[in-house]
Amino acid sequence: MNNSRISALDLVHCPVTAKTTWSFIRLTRSDGVSGWGEASWVRDPGVLDVFHAAARQRLLGQPWAALDGYLEGETPALPQAAIASALEQAMWDIRGKSNGNYSAALAVAGYRRRIPLYANINRSITDRDEAGFRRAGQKAVAAGFGRIKIAPFDGLTPGKIHTPTGRKLLDDGLARVAATRAGIGADTELYVDCHWRFDRLGASSVLKELAALGVGWFECPLMETLENIPALKQLRGEANTLGMRLAGLEELTHPAGFLPWLGAGAYDVVMPDVKYARGIAGVAAVARLAASFATGCAPHNPSGPIAHAASLVACAISDSIEQLEHQFDETPAFWRLINDNFPRPVDGASLTPALPGLGAELRR
Residues 52-94: tens digit of each pLDDT? 999 999 999 999 999 999 999 988 899 999 999 999 999 999 9
- Do 155 and 53 reside in the same domain of the chain? no
CATH code at 283?
A: 3.20.20.120
Q: Are residues 84 and 229 in the same domain?
A: no
- Rounded Cα–Cα distance for residues 91 and 75 (Å): 18
Report if residue 187 sits inside a domain: yes
Q: How many domains does the chain have?
A: 2
DSSP H/E element including 114: strand 114-120
Residue 364, in any domain of the structure: no
91, 174: one domain: no
The length of the chain is 364
What confidence tier does 264 reach under pLDDT thresholds 50, 70, 90? very high
Do 176 and 58 lie in a common domain?
no
- Report if residue 205 sits inside a domain: yes
Say whether both 121 and 75 belong to one domain.
no
Residue 331 pLDDT exceeds 90: yes
Find, among 306, 299, 303, the residue nearest to 283 by Cα: 299
Q: What is the predicted pLDDT for the residue at 364?
A: 72
* pLDDT at residue 1 is higher than 60: no
Q: Closest by alpha carbon to 39, among 1, 63, 75?
A: 75
Residue 125 lies in a domain: yes
Of 55, 75, 100, the one marking the end of a domain is 100
Q: Does one domain contain both 308 and 237? A: yes
pLDDT (0 to 100) of residue 251 = 97
| Predicted TM-score (pTM) above 0.95 | yes
Same domain, residue pair 91 and 139:
no
What are the tens digits of pLDDT across the range 275-324?
999 999 999 999 999 999 999 999 999 999 999 999 999 999 999 999 99
The answer as to whether 1 is a domain residue is no
Boundaries of domain holding 45: 6-100
Is the model's pLDDT at 134 over the cut of 80? yes
